[in-house]
Amino acid sequence: MLLQKISLHNFRNFKKEIFEFSPHLTLIVGENARGKTNLLESIHCIANGIGYRETEEEELVRIGEEILEARGVFQSDEKKYEFQIIFQRKEKGIVRNFFFNKAPKKLFLYQQETTKVVLFSPEQISIITGTPEKRRNYFDKIISSYDYEYKKRLHNLESALYKRNKILECYKNIEELKEDLVFWNGYIIEQATYITQKRQGYIDFLNIHNKVDSKEFHINYVKNKITHERLEEYFEKEIRYRRTQIGPQKDDFILFQDKDLHKFGSRSEQRLGIFWLKLNEIKFYEKIFKKKPIILLDDIFSELDKKNKKLVLNLIKNYQTIITATEEEMFEKVEVEKRIIRL
Ligand SMILES: Nc1ncnc2c1ncn2[C@@H]1O[C@H](COP(=O)(O)OP(=O)(O)OP(=O)(O)O)[C@@H](O)[C@H]1O
Ligand SMILES: [Mg+2]
């Protein structure tokens, strides 16, 4: 499915705009703060129903306005499909509505209809440089996008941990505590088993598709297992800290390219590590959904040397790609049919 055009109404700095895209390569060019990233974010929002920056959804609505509307027209086999999101500010927060071909849809069903977009932006280096939580969130988002059961189990785990921690915080008598924990221990182990298995499945996929050009990558899934035996082992510590000490909420993922990229990678090595993750996100979506995703590249060319730029462009040439840049000259030598949006 290819993106043909989008219309935005009160999306971040855009009051009312229409943008059209090439089926191959579209460049969004403009000086700083013109709305290049916002435009990419709007595509991400239309396709995924959610933004990609770690912001509150109300920040997506133009300052001083109440309703945001964004609509995308996609084409596949001569047929047109329309996706629309409407976010409205209310006292209690944002109310979100999703429509596919004008029919209202729940978010998950909406997401099943749309084409996937894969975003690559400089901030994502924090998947490598940031906390384990960043990495868990990154993988959880991918797995949740095709596995509703996984999403449900993550939610179950989170609320079960909350309740288990409350019990640990408030207990007065050890025997009673043990009794109170029996149900939650079993329940959490059940959720964790599913989550761990799915995370392992995705990591195995990455480790099979481990090459970018001549470079080989690898990822280590560091599981924080939760079993009845380990819970007994950690019982004293749990009492001391009054908090659950083990489980997939503490898993981590370590990226290697010869060396540990988190500790020893240079900026460009780390960036290529992210690019490897992103390339596999693309391959994975194609495998699961049998559709080609759309690739969004935000401002990454200013940070790559000539060789890496060429490598990236070569690897994405068979996809519909939308790239932002401050200078048009960066793409003068790119010999693909391209459309330029000047902001
Ligand atoms: N909800 C909002 N309402 C109005 N304006 C907003 C909103 N959210 C962000 N903006 C503004 O939109 C402008 C464009 O932001 P954006 O991040 O898209 O710029 P950019 O073109 O990507 O810039 P850069 O080259 O620095 O990356 C900024 O001035 C930002 O403050
Ligand atoms: Mg930007």
Instruction: Read off the pLDDT of residues 178-231 as tens digits, 9 standing for 90 and up.
Output: 999 999 999 999 999 999 999 999 999 999 999 988 889 999 999 999 999 999
Mean pLDDT for the stretch of residues 319-328: 90
Rounded distance from Cα 122 to ligand 2 centre (Å): 10
pLDDT for 167: 95
For atom 17 of ligand 1, the residue with the nearest CA is: 37
pLDDT in tens, 278-304: 999 999 989 988 888 999 999 887 767
Q: For residue 312, name the pLDDT band (cuts at 50, 70, 90).
A: confident
Out of 36, 45, 323, 330, give the residue to mutate to test ligand 1, the one with the largest number of ligand atoms within 8 Å of its CB: 36
Q: Show the tokens assigned to 186.
A: 């079993």
pLDDT in tens, 73-117: 999 888 999 999 999 998 888 899 999 999 999 988 898 888 889
Rounded distance from Cα 31 to ligand 2 centre (Å): 9
- This prediction has a pTM of 0.83
Mean pLDDT for the stretch of residues 264-278: 89
pLDDT for 309: 79
Other beta carbons within 10 Å of 320: 22
Q: Show the tokens assigned to 299.
A: 């401002």
Other beta carbons within 10 Å of 137: 14
pLDDT in tens, 141-156: 999 988 989 999 999 9
Helices (H) and strands (E) in the chain, counts: 11, 16
CA distance 87 to 98: 9
For atom 7 of ligand 1, the residue with the nearest CA is: 12
Mean pLDDT for the stretch of residues 330-341: 77
DSSP 273-311: HHHHHHHHHHHHHHHHHSSPPEEEEES-GGGS-HHHHHH
Rounded distance from Cα 5 to ligand 1 centre (Å): 21
For atom 12 of ligand 1, the residue with the nearest CA is: 13
Between the alpha carbon of residue 67 and those of residues 22, 73, 85, 249, 331, the distances in Å are 29, 20, 10, 36, 36
Which residues, other chains included, contact 211 with Cβ-Cβ below 8 Å and sequence gap of 6+?
217
Is residue 331 pLDDT above 80, yes or no? Answer: no
b/e code 282-314 from CB counts within 10 Å (16+ = b): bbbbeeebeebbbbbbbbbbeebeeebbebbbe
State which ligand 1 atom lies nearest to the alpha carbon of 39. 18
For atom 4 of ligand 1, the residue with the nearest CA is: 13
Give backbone dihedrals phi and psi of 30, rounded to 5 degrees, phi first: 180, 160
pLDDT in tens, 9-62: 999 999 999 999 999 999 999 999 999 999 999 999 999 888 776 567 888 999
CA distance 255 to 139: 13
The answer to whether the beta carbons of residues 246 and 224 sit under 8 Å apart is: yes
Q: Is any atom of ligand 1 closer than 6 Å to the C-beta of 30?
A: yes
